[in-house]
Amino acid sequence: MNEKEYYNLIKPYEDAMQMILSRLDTLNHTLYESSATHLVPIHNIQSRIKSKKSIEDKLIKKEKKPSLTNAKNFLMDIAGARVICYFVNDIYNLVEILKSQTDLIVMKERDYIAGPKPNGYRSLHLIVEIPIFLANEKKWVKVEVQFRTIAMNFWASLEHKLRYKKELSQERLAEIDSELLECAKLCATLDQKMQNIKESKLAQEL
């Protein structure tokens, strides 16, 4: 894939990303305005378009030729947004609302909150398809949206950094994995406790 092909590939993904970000922003302020508590669900959103090198590396990892067609056909996360929420129930609420929007298709859902990965990773991933309107056509473009709480994101960010210490012995790596799993469980407990505090506070305010 040359630079020009890469630029042509990512253009619709950039447009689709803008649309998803704007939709999430609208949801964030309407949920704030409509709730009695005036709590926004979203802490912040990070977004990125996969670089040419990451696209090629991921295709090679999937044992595919790093071509334009394979990128379009086999990669679901060329456009990726990470929505960091305050509470776990904010995530489920946002996901339900997105699923109810008729001009957006949820192609795939992976709930690693209800069922964390064996290493402890928690997050809810959606692959959504959103239409973008070009001069003469409507094109459906995929965006990966990951929903995490602040605690889930804290764990995943540090785990991502620590995963690359390849000079360590197998024994030490196993110890780190087990320590990270323990930290993931602590983060899940924290999320639960914070949610309990929020719910009991809301109940008292009613």
* Closer by beta carbon to ligand 0O2, 125 or else 142: 125
Shortest reach from residue 30's CB to ligand 0O2, in Å: 28
Q: The tokens of 93 are what?
A: 């609420």
143 beta partners: 128
* Shortest CB 107 distance to ligand 0O2, Å: 11
The CB-of-52 to ligand 0O2 minimum distance in angstroms stands at: 14
Point out the residue whose Cβ comes nearest to ligand 0O2.
Answer: 121
β strands within the chain, DSSP E? 42-49, 79-85, 105-111, 124-133, 138-149
Q: Is 56 or 159 the residue whose CB approaches ligand 0O2 more closely?
A: 159
Look-up: residue for tokens 């965006």? 143
Task: Enumerate binding residues for ligand 0O2 (CB under 6 A).
Answer: 77, 80, 110, 117, 119, 121, 125, 156, 159-160
The separation between CA 20 and the C-alpha centre of its own chain, rounded to angstroms, equals: 12
CA distances for 171 relative to 154, 175, 177, angstroms:
25, 6, 10
Q: How many CB atoms lie within 10 A of CB 86?
A: 18
Instruction: Give the 3-state secondary structure percentages of the chain, helix then strand then coil, rounded to 5.
Output: 55, 20, 25
As to burial, measured by CB atoms within 10 angstroms (0-12 exposed, 13-18 middle, 19+ buried), residue 183 is middle
**Comparison of 35 and 73: residue with beta carbon closer to ligand 0O2:** 73
167 is catalytic: no
User: Smaller CB distance to ligand 0O2: residue 37 or 119?
Assistant: 119
| Catalytic residue selected from 33, 144, 175, 199 | 144
Give catalytic residues, as residue numbers: 144
